[in-house]
Structure 1
Amino acid sequence: MHPQHPGDEPTWAALSPREKALAAVGMTGLGLGVLALVAAAVLLGVLTIGYLSRDLIEADGAGPLIWAALLFLPCGLLAGAFAYPVRLALRLVLASPKAKRRAETALSAGTTFLAALFVETLTPGLHVQHPWLPALLATLLIALAHLATNHLEARTHRSHNHP
């Protein structure tokens, strides 16, 4: 057993088996909670896009919308795999940090657009007319969510640094 100083966080090795089990259960619960929150946000996004594009999207019931939410992550990974070589090339070619940030933002939007096109194409029971319109809407909604998150983080950071 390692000696503990007052105020030090205990190490994993210093925890008893009961404390380790409680920590594992707590972390599992936290992970499942975060996963549920992300799944709910994705499903809400799919439902929002489905509602706003209801004249362009026809679904064979509620199942395809759930499938679309489930396929969002794998389609995002697939789109990211296609965009990765471009991302690397831009990092090598661009010198200024401002240009790199702008290119990264544009590439991120393009990757999101491609992922939305993949979701529309690969979701069984989902029929989309003019698929680029809902994909563009999805890209804009995700960009707005990102901007809102950044704004809230900056606001929270400012309030913690300036009491």
Structure 2
Amino acid sequence: MVKAIVVNGPNLGRLGVRQPDVYGRQDLAELTRQCEQWGREFGFEAVEVRQTDDEAEMIGWMHEAADNGTPVVMNPAAFTHYSYGLADAAHMVGDAGLPLMEVHISNPSARDEFRKRSVISPVATGTITGLGFFGYRLALEAIAHIMGLTPADD
């Protein structure tokens, strides 16, 4: 059975409070509930949702994923635009033969100029932006497809 981790970067612990017109009114607990449900639907053994404001912790999670054979859904948030350390760590996930899907709740390309460049996208298996929490569902479904998982029976 395959497990997956969903990792979220800085300020995503403030979902529902921070700029709800951009990020929506649902909080991290709701995102966690939905990702766990979607994971079951797509045949994952488990989906674990994590959030950190600490770049080093997120890098450690990428090392852990590469070492343990765990596919990743990553919303790097602000780290998207400048964290070469995180990009290098994310690259190790791909080097381990694992999918890493980059997700953004909003569409960074439609926002501030500094948000238009991602240092994660070049090392990600795919990128989904601007679809709110639904983007996480699509990312998990893509990983399930890549990993050859069988959807759970209804």
Structure with the bigger percentage of helix: 1
* TM-score in same-fold range (> 0.5): no
Bigger Rg over Cα: 1
Structure with the bigger percentage of strand: 2
TM-score (norm 2): 0.27
